């Protein structure tokens, strides 16, 4: 049975990331490593996980997040967290981490519902814009994601609805959690997660200095 423990933290970092205590950051980073390990992957940002987990002989098995689904997920994530003065979702390896969730962590029902939702995106965009989502113009992508977000808001405001059944609910929380537990995401928030060199009395960056 696939494990669901710690899924409750998804998206939690995005609420108030700078105020999170270091032990909470450490807990989430440890959970990230567990997710990657559950899919048979080494640590890091999960960029290689789109190839799928390794089988018993060390050969990479196909991922349930197929190349077609990966392109959709990566494009959706990049609309949610685009590259600005900080890295975007693609550079943070969001899609690779989502592949690890799909292949080694999510409960079967959650996984199947999420993948079924991803599979609706390209057909809907071809019908609406004439191209698969990843090949749509930025404005078309933004409009499509905006409609998904409006529908999610409607579900949240409906006492009889369950927003967690929306695949886009999971797209957003998977994207946010993958990003803010990646080195690129934590660096964007000002967390120093690695020490590649001894910096001595190096001057503070503008972010560290509060400017």
pLDDT-above-70 percentage for the chain: 65
Least confident of 134-138, 165-169, 172-176, 178-182: 178-182
Same domain, 167 and 82: yes
Does position 195 have pLDDT exceeding 70, yes or no? no
pLDDT over 80 at 67, yes or no = yes
User: What's the rounded Cα separation, in Å, for the pair 92 and 85?
Assistant: 14
Q: Quick one: 111 and 183 in the same domain?
A: yes
Same domain, 77 and 37: no
CA dist 8 to 85, 160, 164, 175, 190, Å? 29, 21, 11, 14, 24
| Total tally of structural domains belonging to the chain | 2
118/92 same-domain check: yes
Q: Can you give the residue range of the structural domain that contains 118?
A: 62-190
Residue 141, domain member (yes or no): yes
49 lies in some domain:
no
Q: Decide if pLDDT at 54 tops 80.
A: no
């Amino acid at each position: 049975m696939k494990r669901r423990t710690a899924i409750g933290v998804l998206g939690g970092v995005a609420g108030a990331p700078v105020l999170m205590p270091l032990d909470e950051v450490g807990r989430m980073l440890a959970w990230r490593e567990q997710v990657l390990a559950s899919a048979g992957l080494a640590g890091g940002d999960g960029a290689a996980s789109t190839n799928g987990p390794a089988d018993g002989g060390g050969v990479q098995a196909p991922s349930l997040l197929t190349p077609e689904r990966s392109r959709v997920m990566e494009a959706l994530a990049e609309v949610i967290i685009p590259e600005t003065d900080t890295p975007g979702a693609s550079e943070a390896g969001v899609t690779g981490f989502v592949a690890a969730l799909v292949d080694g962590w999510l409960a079967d029902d959650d996984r199947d519902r999420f993948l079924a939702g991803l599979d609706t995106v390209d057909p809907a965009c071809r019908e609406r814009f004439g191209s698969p989502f990843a090949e749509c113009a930025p404005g078309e992508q933004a409009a499509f994601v905006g409609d998904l977000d409006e529908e999610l808001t409607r579900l949240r405001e409906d006492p009889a609805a369950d927003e967690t059944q929306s695949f886009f609910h999971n797209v957003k929380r998977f994207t946010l959690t993958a990003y803010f537990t990646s080195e690129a995401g934590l660096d964007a928030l000002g967390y120093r997660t690695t020490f590649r060199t001894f910096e001595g009395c190096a001057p503070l960056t503008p972010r560290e200095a509060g400017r």
